[in-house]
Amino acid sequence: AQSVTQLGSHVSVSEGALVLLRCNYSSSVPPYLFWYVQYPNQGLQLLLKYTSAATLVKGINGFEAEFKKSETSFHLTKPSAHMSDAAEYFCAVMRYGNKLVFGAGTILRVKS
């Protein structure tokens, strides 16, 4: 069965600092991987997705993620945090176009 582990339920960074949110997956075959962001009292917005093309994926709002098969990881990064990045971030895995399996989420706090 597929699963996703997000390391760190809460991450705090200073404005302008590097953002690194960690995600590891377990899957017997290369999966499709996604990062979603959720702002308070809102639904999920897709940040970026990996679909077995380029291993470095660029998304919206300056975020990017690198697929590393050897480490079964898909960590999310952003070079410089902005106050508006404060939200909850979910990593998710999908196979065969069906259901998404989500991690528990990481709440990102950005300090001024």
Alpha helices in 10-107, H assignment, sequence order: none
Task: Evaluate whether 30 touches 70 at the Cβ level (below 8 Å).
Answer: no
Number of residues binding to other proteins, judged by CB under 8 A: 23
Distance of closest approach, residue 112 Cβ to other proteins, in angstroms: 25
Interface stretch with other proteins, choices 14-22, 60-68, 70-78, 92-100 (CB under 8 A): 92-100
Rounded to a whole number of angstroms, the minimum distance from the CB of residue 85 to other proteins is 19
Count of alpha carbons within 13 Å of 3, Cβ hemisphere only?
A: 4
Cα separation, 19 vs 56, whole angstroms:
16
Smallest distance, other proteins to C-beta of residue 89, A: 10
Residues 2-21 that bind other proteins (CB under 8 A): 4
